[in-house]
Structure 1
Amino acid sequence: MSTARGKKDTIIVGVDFGTTYSGVSYTFRGKPDPSSEIPVVRGWQEGTGCDKVPTQLKYEVSSEATPLPSRKRCAAGSYADLKAADVHVVKWGFPASKDKGSIQMLKLLLDPQQELPPYVSRTQLESQLKQIGRGVVEATADFLDKLKTQALEALDKRYGKAFMATTKIDYILTVPAVWSDAAKDATLRAAEMAGLHKSRNLQMITEPEAAALYALKQMEGVTLTVGDTYIIADCGGGTVDQISYEVISLDPLRIKECAAGTGGICGSGMLNMRFEEHVKARMGVASFEDYCEKNPKDWGRCIEHFELRTKRDFNPLALAQHPEDMDDMSVPLAGAKEDASSGIERNYLILTPDNLNSIFRPVMESIVRLADEQYNLLIEEGKTPKGIILVGGFGESNHLFNVLKLHFVETKDFEVLQPPNAWSAVARGAVIHCIEGDNLVQARIARHHYGVVTRFAYDPTKHSRKDCIFDEDDEKWYAENQVQWYVKKGQSMPSGTPILLPFHFASSIKLQSEVISLVVSDEDEAPLEWSHTARTRTLGTIQVNLENLGNGKWKKRKTDTGRKFVVLDYNVGMSLGSGGLVFDVRVGEKICGSLRAKYD
């Protein structure tokens, strides 16, 4: 009997690579788990039972001269001469999170265009990577490889090694919606380096879209009606993404994006950074650094307590009517020097409600601003949102829930909602996307103008003389350096319906390939003439292979003077998929192949 299986008999693995925590969810496509019961990996080292694992790595630099257990660490001065084999991940996840020297917030470096908050040092993060001779894509691949290995162990335990040996795995990776296309591509390259592409079916989906699929599926058949519009706030460790969807069908469930997504770096990990800065200010920089150097494990326990207890228990608005009931909170700071004036007593740091409010307030205000921005975008589009749905680990915060509830208290028929399993909603939603298919989301909103640098027939009333050139092949005058915009910012792009970018080439000989320059602009009105600015820039290039098109696709022509040349007309199809831009090349009705942009 044949053991071959079709596409239905595959394992779907959703990978939520987060700024502070990462998670993995999975199901068997042939008999998928109910959306509310899609399992997540929980068997982490030192973190069994937790839905996610810290996105942290600890490397060791060692000599190749001896076996790994007895290798000696290299001196810092030799880092520039490191080879890949000299660098090893010795800790990751929970064990690495307890080490002061671990690499964290790695994800924030994947998109250089995103502005980091003042309490996150890009220079420091880049310096850590430089010391071990790793780029951000390589380090991300190292972490994803560890995550994949742990996921495969979980799959073996559930389905058995014999079953897994003959079953393909389809991976789907999540990325922030506010990321540039280049950053999404960098994440994809890291996943490929980690071996997630071996099934040849690696997909991507934006985090808020995945979260929305999970959240709305839980409401399906209960509270949803056609025409309902909800803001989805994916509040993670590093980023908070907000996106809005309108329900356009219930059976089957179909939704469409109805306002351009917004986001910022104001996740719960920023609270940890602000807490560290607070402690540093209380102790003094020199004393704090001396304490961390001498008591790294104790400082790790302090951060862990703040992460797992203090952040989650802080909920002052629940006691707003009785301020006198708001007690001080304490976190362990074992080994710290007693200093009553700094609030350090008996190995504990005392945090007053004012202290905690000063840590929380800027982050909360940033999230509220994002919610207001998304709400106002919907009103401008003529939509009336019914509420905001909080997902992500930070989305489980009672304090955040109450802050938003108080902020929107005067807004008629608007609710703040918290679905179950909010922390793992993104990973579970990614799996739902693979089960349901791309048809679930019927349309998405373009966040930028997209176009190509091209040339037009020269018109002295429209074009600058400096861009005027004469083409000797077809003996005509053209205006170079022009931009043909095919997608407008804010434009609704139907799923599965590509925008066609037509191209016409004239040449004395048949070309083997052609390079197309993609450009992107964030201006309200996209410029007609190409000029690189802070808001209008090169997105990347597409290498179009023209070798296999066949002789019949090239048409022979003659100029007015009798010169022979050939022309080719073809299209590049551009679609806005769940994870970003997708390209293919078409001649007539035939799709001749998929393309991948090389991003700048």
Structure 2
Amino acid sequence: MDLHRTKKLTRTMTIEDEQGRKMPAVEVFAAAIRHLKKHFMEQAENRIKLQENEIRWVITVPAIWNDDAKEFMVEAAKMAGIREDKLSLAYEPEAAAIYCKQIRLAKLREQGKDATIQPFPPGFKFLVLDLGGGTVDITAHEVQRDDTLQALMEPSGGKWGGTLVDDGFLETFEGLFGKEFMTGLKKDIENAESKRELDNEIESKKKTIVGKSNPKADCVISMKLPFAMMAKTKSAQFKSALKGKQIEHKRDKIQIHNSILLTAFETSVSKIVAHLEMLLRKPELKRLDAIVMAGGFSESKVVQEEVKGVLKKYPRIELIIPEDGGLAIVQGISTSVPFDIRIHPVVHRVKSRDGSYRCEDIFKVFVKKGEKVIPGQTTASYEFYPSQSAREHQTIEVYKSEADDPPMLITECQKVGFMRFTMPNSYITGKTVSVQMKFGGTQVKVTADVNGLRGNEPMEASFEWL
């Protein structure tokens, strides 16, 4: 629903779901806020003594929303149980600006190497390009001597976010599978899982597309097709649509040339670039020091390349991206694998108890550099045989590497910590232990259990940083 374009918002406005059912829009927003509020209060109870009347609630909204849209959000918050005198609305890019002023940042350079800089000093002028899914919001600020921020211009932006690119991807698929089929994929409840899989695949591939000037522009993007679309690849219409195009179908994937998918970015990127160029001509931004790209859509290589192209006319302005936009390192553990003389160094060969040879000190990767991690959801699993020499207390070393391509051996990595396990008294020799790690939060969470045992005692597991 286009809230920023609505002249008058009331409880009678509705939102239609994928099955065509309609609900009052304000109730949908209220339900979402109520859920987040409940979740926060539950988490807070486990950490601090906090009364609800002591809380000031802040809800962020796009900078391009008008007063009616903001009043709508206030109404939804009130329905969710938040008192109006305890509520504040903040523009999303202004919240990002406060964040960017405080954290360490990584500067994006032409050669692809990062350099860190300290939080912005007094007098530093920066523009925040907040690139989200639906909207692009832009603000500019100057850091004051008292460490506050002074706005240099009114917030601006438009509906030029990542969803416009999604629409471009779907148009490509409509050309292959037919508009009627793609509409059905979105509407039919039987295809809901296939639609989710396609959305996830599009979201992932958006970050791999590169611009025309990129040396890797002449490449092919492989996209996995969900089940509902795989069945359609046998149709004569699909096979006919492939003719004369830089698209191939191989098993459960289609391989599309980068140039075809690049067209999906044209509308979004052209509007972002035009607006940014207009802003940089304003006298208020004459002495701008940096542009900070924030938001999920800022990870797009196409958007980054286009913004860098604009800044060629402004050599004093640096392009900055928060360094936690993606994982900066490769994480993994030390393990062993069957020894292969063709690839493994002999010095790492050891003889196991069954008489076979294995290669020790192999770097087993759990999270790759640049891979997006979701706190509490991104997991990795590992299965191992406990050491007989240290039966009760088991330890697994954890390493990291800053190399783009993970090394084979831990000798080329840096040790960062240990996973420690206390074996239960019910453990039977020969049983393996399954370990699961959760990444993305302030701590790495570790759980473990012995395979093949029923009703066994829980294992104590923890992660310790060096």
Please classify the TM superposition score into its range, dividing by the shorter chain length: 0.5 to 0.7
Code of the aligned partner of 1:415: E
User: Displacement of 1:129 after TM fit?
Assistant: 11
**1:357 aligned to 262, 274, 278, which one?**
262
Identify if the C-alpha distance between structure 1 residues 215 and 192 changes in structure 2 by more than 3 Å, giving closer, same or farther.
same
Gaps of 5+ in 2: 106-116, 327-466
Identify if the C-alpha distance between structure 1 residues 355 and 333 changes in structure 2 by more than 3 Å, giving closer, same or farther.
farther
- Measured on the aligned residues, the alpha-carbon RMSD in Å equals 3.1
**2:315 aligned to 394, 402, 412, which one?**
412
Which residue does 1:366 correspond to in 2? 271
Secondary structure of residue in 1 paired with 2:198: helix
**1:311 aligned to 192, 206, 212, which one?**
206
Identify if the C-alpha distance between structure 1 residues 147 and 274 changes in structure 2 by more than 3 Å, giving closer, same or farther.
farther
User: Displacement of 1:237 after TM fit?
Assistant: 1.2
Code of the aligned partner of 1:392: G
Which residue does 2:396 correspond to in 1? none
Secondary structure of residue in 2 paired with 1:320: coil
Q: Superposed, which structure 2 residues align to 1:516-527 within 5 Å?
A: none
User: Displacement of 1:301 after TM fit?
Assistant: 0.7
Which residue does 2:304 correspond to in 1? 401
Q: Superposed, which structure 2 residues align to 1:52-451 within 5 Å?
A: 106=1, 108-109=2-3, 111-112=5-6, 126=15, 128=17, 132=21, 134-157=23-46, 159=47, 163-164=49-50, 168-197=54-83, 200-218=85-103, 222=118, 224-249=120-145, 252-291=146-185, 293=188, 294-307=190-203, 309-316=204-211, 320-324=214-218, 326-336=219-229, 337-338=232-233, 339-340=238-239, 341-342=241-242, 343=247, 344-377=249-282, 380-381=283-284, 383-421=286-324
Code of the aligned partner of 2:320: L
Give 4+ residue runs of structure 1 displaced > 4 Å after superposition.
Answer: 124-133, 164-167
Q: Is the CA contact 1:334–1:348 (under 8 Å) kept in the aligned structure 2?
A: no
Q: Is the CA contact 1:235–1:390 (under 8 Å) kept in the aligned structure 2?
A: yes
Code of the aligned partner of 2:79: M
User: Displacement of 1:312 after TM fit?
Assistant: 2.1
Identify if the C-alpha distance between structure 1 residues 363 and 371 changes in structure 2 by more than 3 Å, giving closer, same or farther.
same
User: Displacement of 1:290 after TM fit?
Assistant: 4.5
Secondary structure of residue in 1 paired with 2:207: helix
Identify if the C-alpha distance between structure 1 residues 328 and 127 changes in structure 2 by more than 3 Å, giving closer, same or farther.
closer
Identify if the C-alpha distance between structure 1 residues 129 and 188 changes in structure 2 by more than 3 Å, giving closer, same or farther.
farther
Q: Is the CA contact 2:225–2:253 (under 8 Å) kept in the aligned structure 1?
A: yes
Q: Is the CA contact 1:110–1:137 (under 8 Å) kept in the aligned structure 2?
A: no
Post-superposition CA distance 1:170-213 (Å, at most 9, x none): 21111122211121111111111111228x42112111111111
Code of the aligned partner of 1:303: D
The normalised TM-score by structure 2 is: 0.57
Secondary structure of residue in 2 paired with 1:373: helix
Identify if the C-alpha distance between structure 1 residues 310 and 125 changes in structure 2 by more than 3 Å, giving closer, same or farther.
farther
Identify if the C-alpha distance between structure 1 residues 129 and 348 changes in structure 2 by more than 3 Å, giving closer, same or farther.
closer
Code of the aligned partner of 1:384: R
Q: Is the CA contact 2:3–2:69 (under 8 Å) kept in the aligned structure 1?
A: no
Taking the aligned partners of 1:132 and 1:303, their CA distance within structure 2 comes to: 21
Q: Is the CA contact 1:259–1:374 (under 8 Å) kept in the aligned structure 2?
A: no
Taking the aligned partners of 1:389 and 1:173, their CA distance within structure 2 comes to: 22
Gaps of 5+ in 1: 1-105, 115-123, 424-600
Taking the aligned partners of 2:309 and 2:52, their CA distance within structure 1 comes to: 53
Q: Is the CA contact 1:328–1:350 (under 8 Å) kept in the aligned structure 2?
A: yes
Post-superposition CA distance 1:578-600 (Å, at most 9, x none): xxxxxxxxxxxxxxxxxxxxxxx
Which residue does 1:99 correspond to in 2? none
User: Displacement of 1:384 after TM fit?
Assistant: 1.6
Q: Is the CA contact 1:177–1:207 (under 8 Å) kept in the aligned structure 2?
A: yes
Identify if the C-alpha distance between structure 1 residues 165 and 212 changes in structure 2 by more than 3 Å, giving closer, same or farther.
closer
The normalised TM-score by structure 1 is: 0.45
Which residue does 2:342 correspond to in 1? none
Identify if the C-alpha distance between structure 1 residues 167 and 109 changes in structure 2 by more than 3 Å, giving closer, same or farther.
closer
Which residue does 2:395 correspond to in 1? none
Q: Is the CA contact 2:14–2:24 (under 8 Å) kept in the aligned structure 1?
A: no
Secondary structure of residue in 1 paired with 2:153: strand
Post-superposition CA distance 1:69-110 (Å, at most 9, x none): xxxxxxxxxxxxxxxxxxxxxxxxxxxxxxxxxxxxx4x336
Identify if the C-alpha distance between structure 1 residues 303 and 393 changes in structure 2 by more than 3 Å, giving closer, same or farther.
same
Secondary structure of residue in 1 paired with 2:55: strand
User: Displacement of 1:144 after TM fit?
Assistant: 1.4
User: Displacement of 1:354 after TM fit?
Assistant: 1.7
Secondary structure of residue in 2 paired with 1:173: strand
Taking the aligned partners of 1:186 and 1:264, their CA distance within structure 2 comes to: 19
Identify if the C-alpha distance between structure 1 residues 351 and 253 changes in structure 2 by more than 3 Å, giving closer, same or farther.
same
Taking the aligned partners of 1:287 and 1:196, their CA distance within structure 2 comes to: 43
Post-superposition CA distance 1:415-461 (Å, at most 9, x none): 111013459xxxxxxxxxxxxxxxxxxxxxxxxxxxxxxxxxxxxxx
Q: Is the CA contact 2:7–2:68 (under 8 Å) kept in the aligned structure 1?
A: no
Identify if the C-alpha distance between structure 1 residues 277 and 356 changes in structure 2 by more than 3 Å, giving closer, same or farther.
same
Secondary structure of residue in 1 paired with 2:143: strand
Greater RCO (Cα-Cα under 8 Å, separation 6 or more): 1
